[in-house]
Amino acid sequence: MHNPYYLHASEVFTERGIRDNHYVLVEGGVIADICPAPKPNIRIVELGEQQLLPGFLDLHIHGREGSDIMDATRESIETISSSLAKHGVVGFLGTTVTSTWENSLAAFASVGDGFHNQPQGALVLGAYNEGLFFTEDHKGAHDEQYFLALTKENIDAIIEASKGSLKVMALAPELPDSDEIIRYLTAKGIKVMLGHTNATHQQTCNALDAGACGGVHVFNGMRGIHHRDPGCAGAVLLDEQAYCEVIADGVHLHPAILQLIYRLKDPQKIGLISDCIVAGGLNDGSYRLGMLDVTVKNGVARTNSGSLAGSTLTLDKAVDNLVKLADIPVLEAVHMASLAPAKFLGVDNSLGSISIGKRACFAIVNRKFQVQTTIIDGKVVFGNLV
């Protein structure tokens, strides 16, 4: 695949709209052209009725197929990377969960290794710390006995352990000194997301003013909207700049809430995440998430106390759910799994959409919206091209 080739699809989901019966020229791993007619003497790969989509970016994922970021091993990074590629994901943030300090630092180190020495499937775009700096009321699947003080020393230790790969830090803004820490992280180019928090509306607004970027899996793990107390959820939904992570599995958020988020937010501030755990791609049963036992039944993961514990979702399914459950236009739904996260992470100059000059990263789906082929930098990493 070193030579240039065209992908010819009945529908090409470009950044500017869905183009019928178009050709996408891949040259040197980059999208070199998008056109209605090909130039001669260049190989054409016929995709027939399949749709050519931008590759998905899953910025909040803990594990898949028996592997967990907290395993802190190369093998687990590789398993997660190849498993994600089966679902059209071309890049991800290796996301931690609350654990011992030692285990947490080891996990950041292994994500850092993956970041600097990429696996074969979905790219490791960096590390996401979801853990350690939360409060108890909305702890979800985070074991509070391992919660730590939000200090510069702890933050610096994580940044160092991650070998420069830390991109996102989740925290509860009601913790002491949070606004100062948010400014500290933001100055270092690390995005702060607010979650597993009982913060009031005002505390959340203060954190957003200090530089926090938005809400972790909005409505889940935070104080919801009450008419006299609009909470963290109310604040991140109404702040135009705030980015909202959404788990569109049909369980974490009612379809009416998916619609509500869509009506309130700029679609480019809505980022689909899987929040998938080790059980993703496996059967129902008993698993671990960080330090806690979880049970997966009908694909839904819960702790022993009944709290939702991540998901077994994939982004291809999440996009399809948004279209079917919440009536969201398919191109917008696709871009919530690609362009929106790329913009959030600041990698939209090279990833996140089908646009000339960007890296040739695609998800090719059939008419049932099942991923048939995944391409990264012009190379097939899942499925095949005939």
Query: Please, are residues 109 and 115 in contact by the beta-carbon 8 Å criterion?
Result: no
Q: Which is nearer to Zn ion, 76 or 311 (CB)?
A: 311
Least distance from Zn ion to the Cβ atom of residue 96, Å: 11
Q: Which is nearer to Zn ion, 114 or 221 (CB)?
A: 221
With contacts defined by CB under 5 A, name the span among 119-127, 219-227, 251-259, 366-374 that binds Zn ion.
Answer: 219-227
Residue 187: burial class (beta carbons within 10 Å; 0-12, 13-18, 19+): exposed
Beta bridge partners of 381: none
With contacts defined by CB under 5 A, name the span among 49-57, 216-224, 280-288, 291-299 that binds Zn ion.
Answer: 216-224
Q: Which is nearer to Zn ion, 121 or 221 (CB)?
A: 221
**Site mask for Zn ion (CB under 5 A), range 221-250, x = bound:** x-----------------------------
Beta bridge partners of 18: 13
Query: Please, are residues 51 and 365 in contact by the beta-carbon 8 Å criterion?
Result: yes
Find how far residue 183's CA is from the centre of its chain: 23
For the question of residue 58 being annotated catalytic, the response is: no
In this structure, what DSSP letter does residue 221 have? T
Beta bridge partners of 283: none
Least distance from Zn ion to the Cβ atom of residue 313, Å: 13
Choose the catalytic residue: 275, 316, 320, 348.
Answer: 275
With contacts defined by CB under 5 A, name the span among 80-88, 213-221, 237-245, 366-374 that binds Zn ion.
Answer: 213-221
Least distance from Zn ion to the Cβ atom of residue 370, Å: 28
| Distances from the Cα of 13 to the Cα of 10, 19, 52, 283, 322, angstroms | 10, 6, 6, 33, 16
Q: Which is nearer to Zn ion, 98 or 203 (CB)?
A: 98
Least distance from Zn ion to the Cβ atom of residue 134, Å: 9
- Residues annotated as catalytic (active site), given as ranges: 275
Q: Which residues bind Zn ion (CB under 5 A)?
A: 221
